[in-house]
Amino acid sequence: MHLLIRSARVVDTTSAHHDQVVDLLIENGLIRQIGTNLDAPAGAQQIIDVPNLHVSAGWVDGRASANDPGHEHRETLTDLARAAAAGGFTDVALLPNTSPVVDAKDTLGYVRRMAEGQPTRLHPMAAITKGAKGDDFTDMIDLHRAGAVAFTDGDHPLQNPDLLLKTLQYLRPMNGLLVNRAEDQLLTQFGQMHEGIQSTMLGLKGMPTMAEVMMIERDLRLLAYVLEQDEATASNVPVTPVLHFSCVSATESVELIRKAKARGLPVSCDVAAHQLVFTDIALAGFDTYLKVNPPFRSQADQDALWAGLADGTIDMIVSDHHPHDEESKNVEFDVAEFGISTIETVLASILTHSDRLPLATLVDRLTTGPRRVLRLPTVTIAEEQPAILTLFDPTAQWTYNRSVSPAKNSPFLGKTLTGNVLGTVLLTRASLSLPS
C-alpha cells in the first residue's frame, strides 16, 4: 500500500512531531517519510487531504464483549472488527464471555483465526476459571502461549479471594496480567442502578459504590501480599501492571488506586467512556439503553473519574462495548440486560459532552496507556515505524444515523456528535471513511 496523508496534525506525545502539521508518506506498511509538501510517489494509491485532519497512533480498546462464538445474531467478530475500525480502533482486547467461553486453546484459536485479515486486530483475553464460573482454574500457561493477551473472567468478577490470590501467584512468572472488574455481587444482587437519591426516587434497587470499593481494597491487599511473599524489592517489582481494575466508577476506587500506585504497587485501571458522559440522573426516563454495570453514578463520582484521567491514575479509556439484540433491551427496565453498544462513538461521545481534558491526554489514554498495560508493541509516529494510525477530526459535527454493527443498543443513535473518525491505517490495510 502506498498512501500519502497531507497536512495532518500529529497527536502523539511520544513523537517528535507531536502537535505539528505534517505530511506522512506510507509505503508497504511503514511510515517512510514525514515532512511538509511531500511529493506523491508514482505508485501512490491514495492521497488523503481533508481539512482539520488529525493523526495519532492507532487507538486500542482494552475491553469489548465478543458474541462470536455462540451469539452471532447479536454481532459476529467480523461485525465487531468493522465497528471498531469505524470507531477509530486498530486493536481491541476481547472479553472471554462467549459460548463456549474462551477457556481453552481451541476456542482461543477460533477467535484468533477469525481475526485474521480484519480491519482491526482482535486480541482475545482468556478466562481465569473454566466457563468463567469462578470454580476450577483454566490452563493459563497453555493459553498464554497460545496468544491470550490477559486473563479475566470478564463479566463475572472474581468473588473468591483465594482464586484471585493464586491467579496472581500463577501469572507472576510469565509476566501475565489479571483483569478484574471489582464488584461484590452479594451487595449488588437484584440491583438496577447506582444506589442514591435517584434510585430512591425511581423506586429501583440500588447498587452501592461500597460493592466496588471493598473489592478493590481486598484485591490490592492480596497483591501486596503476593509481592511480599515473593520478597519483591525495588529492583524486581514489575514495571508493567500485574493487576488491572476494569471499569472503575467510584470516587473511593480512584483514590485507592492512586494511593496504591504511589506505594509502588504494579496496578492499573480503566474507565468506560460512557461513565464520563452520563450520571445516574440520566436514568430518570427509564431508558434501558442506559442500563450498564457498573451503573452510572453521581456527579461527584464522575468528577473523580475525570481527575483520575488527568493525573494518570486511570491509565486507559475503554468502550466496554456490549451489543444486544432488540429483545434484550425493548423490555421493562428491571428485566433489561446490562450494557450498551459503544465502540463506534468512544471519543465522539466524550468530546461532545465535555472539554475537561486536552485532546492529547484523551488520545494518550486510548493509545500509550492501553498498549503499556496490555503489553502490546509500542506505536509512535516516526519514520520507519509501522503505519498503525487513526485519522480523525476532533471538531467535526456528524449525526450517528446508522451503526456498522447489527446491534443497535446505543443511546447515541440519531444524535449529533462532535469528533469524527475518518479512518484507520493498519500496516498494509486502510479503513477510510472520508468526506467527499
What CATH number should be reported for the domain holding residue 68? 3.20.20.140
Q: What is the dihedral of CA 234, 235, 240, 243, to 10 degrees?
A: -50
Query: Do 168 and 210 fall into the same domain?
Result: yes
Backbone CA torsion sign across 247, 234, 147, 382: positive
Query: Do 42 and 64 fall into the same domain?
Result: no
Query: Do 38 and 120 fall into the same domain?
Result: no
379: in domain: no
Query: Do 186 and 274 fall into the same domain?
Result: yes
What is the spatial distance between Cα 266 and Cα 291, in angstroms, rounded to a whole number?
Answer: 32
Helix axes 251-262, 299-311, angle to 10 degrees: 20
pLDDT of 237 reads: 59
What is the spatial distance between Cα 113 and Cα 96, in angstroms, rounded to a whole number?
Answer: 15
The model's pTM is 0.95
Range of the domain at 425: 2-54+385-432
pLDDT of 240 reads: 83
Q: How far is CA 413 from CA 271, 401, 408, in A?
A: 22, 6, 8
pLDDT of 235 reads: 44
Task: List phi, psi (to 5°) of 209.
Answer: -60, -25
User: Which of 86, 1, 89 minimizes the C-alpha distance to 46?
Assistant: 1
Mean pLDDT by 10 residues, the chain (436 residues): 92 98 95 93 80 98 96 96 97 98 97 94 98 96 96 97 96 94 97 98 98 98 91 59 97 98 97 98 97 98 98 98 94 96 96 93 98 97 97 97 92 96 88 65
Query: Do 36 and 64 fall into the same domain?
Result: no
The total number of structural domains that make up the chain? 2
Query: Do 141 and 45 fall into the same domain?
Result: no
DSSP state of 387: -
What is the spatial distance between Cα 344 and Cα 322, in angstroms, rounded to a whole number?
Answer: 12
378: in domain: no
Query: Do 348 and 402 fall into the same domain?
Result: no
399: in domain: yes
pLDDT of 427 reads: 84
Query: Do 103 and 135 fall into the same domain?
Result: yes
pLDDT of 236 reads: 62
380: in domain: no
Contact 270, 248 (CB under 8 A): yes
Q: Which residues contact 95 (CB under 8 A, 6 or more apart)?
A: 63, 64, 65, 66, 125, 152, 154, 155
Which CATH number covers residue 42? 2.30.40.10
66: in domain: yes
Amino acid at 310: A
Q: Which residues contact 189 (CB under 8 A, 6 or more apart)?
A: none
172: in domain: yes
Beta strands in 344-405 (DSSP E): 388-399
Query: Do 340 and 232 fall into the same domain?
Result: yes
Query: Do 49 and 66 fall into the same domain?
Result: no
pLDDT of 18 reads: 98
Q: Are strands 206-207 and 121-124 parallel, antiparallel or unpaired?
A: unpaired
Query: Do 86 and 73 fall into the same domain?
Result: yes
What is the spatial distance between Cα 194 and Cα 275, in angstroms, rounded to a whole number?
Answer: 12
Query: Do 32 and 108 fall into the same domain?
Result: no
Q: Which three cell numbers stand for residue 304?
A: 473523580
Question: Which of 343, 373, 403 corresponds to the end of one domain?
Answer: 373
Question: Which of 351, 373, 395 corresponds to the end of one domain?
Answer: 373
Catalytic residues: 320
